[in-house]
Structure 1
Amino acid sequence: MEFHNIARSGQVPEGVVRRVFVGEVEIALARRDGTVHATSNYCSHLDCLLSSGKVTEDGLLCSCHGSVFDFATGEPLSPPATRPITVFPVREDDGQIWVGVDEELAKSAMRRRAARSRRTPPATSAR
């Protein structure tokens, strides 16, 4: 697994959620109780941006419909979400935040509900 330097420690203060990228992988980066957490940035319910959410005592709150995800496991702690989000390993050294991303985690984080459910069927021509 390769770790990527994605932010300075000061860019992610306590209780704040930030949107960052590792290549094409979009990540929600948050700090709770002094620890930095990294998850996929899309809610597993309806693909709302988790970086628009809030840090709570329980985890990461999606601002759209109120699902909360556990920072350690990605499991939904409250509905309407029923599927987990991707969690990335994080290291914080010398004032820098590093997130571990491998091919499997990247694929998992980029898998989005909207991409699958909002596809429209090909147009048919009326003759």
Structure 2
Amino acid sequence: MRFVKVCPLDKIPADGALAVEIDDTPVAVVRSGGSVYAVSDICSHAEVSLSEGEVYDTTVECWLHGSCFDLRTGEPTNPPATEPIATYEVRVEGDEVYVAFDAEDEPPRT
């Protein structure tokens, strides 16, 4: 597993998300309550960008149908989604954000 530098910390909105790609994989880098998370940027229900949704209380809400996902586990917290999304380990070093990723394996779950 390798850590990939994805963005400066100040590019992620407070209680918001930033869409990035790691090896052609869409990832949402999210700030919530002062913590930084990384999850799949694709909703498991409707296959739309989660980084365009609302972020609150360690949750990201899909803008299309309102499915919510726990940023810590990827588990859906309300319907219509029933399948989890991938989560990735994050490190903040100085002002840079790094995400753990290995394109040869399944996306890492935390």
Matches within 5 A, 1:1-127: 1-102=1-102, 103-105=105-107
CA distance in 1, matches of 2:62, 2:99: 21
Assess, with a 3 A threshold, how the Cα gap between structure 1 residues 99 and 58 changes in structure 2: closer, same or farther.
Answer: closer
Deviation at 1:61, TM superposition (A): 0.5
Q: TM-score, normalised by structure 1?
A: 0.80
Segments of 4+ in structure 1 off by > 4 A? Answer: none
Report the RMSD for the aligned CA atoms in angstroms.
1.4
- 5+ long unaligned stretches in structure 2: none
Equivalenced residues, count: 107
Residue-by-residue CA offset, 1:15-53 (whole Å, 9 max, x unaligned): 111100112111011100111110011100010110111
The TM-score normalised by the length of structure 2 is 0.92
Structure with greater helix percent: 1
- Say if 2:39 and 2:87, in contact at 8 Å, map to a contact too: yes
Q: Secondary structure in 2 aligned to 1:46? A: coil
Name whichever structure is richer in strand by fraction.
2
Decide which structure has the larger Cα Rg and report it: 1
